[in-house]
Amino acid sequence: MNIRAVFFSLQLMLISLPSFAMQSVAMPKVATLDWTIAETLLGLGVTPVAVGDKQSYQNWVSKPALPQSAVDLGTRLQPNKELLAQLEIEHFPNGDMYFATAQANLPYLSPVKAVERVNFYQAGDFWQNQLNATRQLAQNVGVDPQPLISETEAIFAAHKAQLAPFQPRPLLIVQFIDARHLRVYGEQSLPGAVLSHLGLQNAWQQAVNLWGFSQISLNQLAQFPNAKLVVIKPYPQNVPTELANNSLWKQLPLAKDPLILPAIWTFGALPSAQRLAVALSQGLQNAHNQQGEAQW
């Protein structure tokens, strides 16, 4: 093969590369202290170069998984200034909870000129806020948000069709703070939005905070005798043992068949909404087909 033929073959190879392969060379260097933004970046196809509290992300968010290459910036409210200075990041988006911390570290963030405020959680319609923030983040880093949005909508539609038999029984979605206290999620929360998109009932119709949850005590679960309890991990290690020895818990109707789900970021965005929809759908259907004790 002569030189001209080799050159022509290389041109054909470049033309045939998928668009994401061509774009990956120009992907911006993005870091964040905010796990919700980190998971959304991954969902958009942008790998963050650094994230706050990386180990805890793996425990609480779990998926989408951070690559080994992602640098751990230290605690989210006190990031490592030396690391920030070394990374030469181009974008540093954060939500309100970490915005002041990010601003305080701006002198270490060359060539970043400003911290980008991206709020997934704020007053207003929960799901519209999610979509708006996803689009804003995508625009900031120069990628298309529509594939992630369309994928999420398709997952909702597919699983909603499978869950019609489970629509009559309301679901109470909780996380254990300890063996006697729980967070319960209402309409203006990620779990609440997922239930709505799946056509399922949310048993909790009372007031919630900005993050969409209320804190309740164990004995308040007695108010929901007909609900299906859904527990999202993680929880303190002693919770299953303490509940097994708790006479109040053993008398609760919804303690007879709780659905235990893996760790999913309940303060997340579209990637966590996808995971929760799939986990709920699979969990409810499996529990219906395979009667037995909950797997704590």
> Which domains does the chain show, CATH number per domain?
3-144 (3.40.50.1980), 149-289 (3.40.50.1980)
Q: What is the pLDDT of residue 232?
A: 97
ω into 28 cis (within 30 of 0): no
ω into 64 cis (within 30 of 0): yes
Q: What is the pLDDT of residue 2?
A: 47
Q: What is the pLDDT of residue 14?
A: 37
Tens digit of each residue's pLDDT, the chain (296 residues): 444 443 334 343 333 333 333 344 467 899 999 999 999 999 999 999 999 999 999 999 999 999 999 999 999 999 998 888 899 899 999 999 999 999 898 888 877 877 899 999 998 999 999 999 999 999 999 999 999 999 999 999 999 999 999 999 999 999 999 999 999 999 899 999 999 999 999 999 998 998 899 999 999 999 999 999 999 999 999 999 999 999 999 999 999 989 999 999 999 999 999 999 999 999 999 876 665 556 66
Contact 71, 49 (CB under 8 A): yes
HEC string for 102-161 = HHHCHHHCCCCCCCCECCCCCCCCHHHHHHHHHHHHHHHHCCCCHHHHHHHHHHHHHHHH
For the beta carbon of residue 175, count every other beta carbon within 10 angstroms.
20
Query: What is each CA distance from 65 to 112, 190, 206, 220, in whole angstroms?
Result: 26, 19, 34, 35
Q: Which two tokens stand for residue 173?
A: 């979605």
Q: What is the pLDDT of residue 294?
A: 61
pTM of structure? 0.86
Rounded CA-CA distance 120/93 in Å is: 12
Rounded CA-CA distance 29/112 in Å is: 10
Q: How far apart are the first and last CA of the chain?
A: 64
Query: What is each CA distance from 82 to 72, 73, 88, 105, 151, in whole angstroms?
Result: 12, 9, 11, 10, 38
Nearest-CA neighbor of 153 among 122, 118, 193, 204?
Answer: 193
DSSP 168: S
Contact 239, 180 (CB under 8 A): no
Query: What is each CA distance from 77 to 53, 67, 92, 94, in whole angstroms?
Result: 9, 22, 14, 12
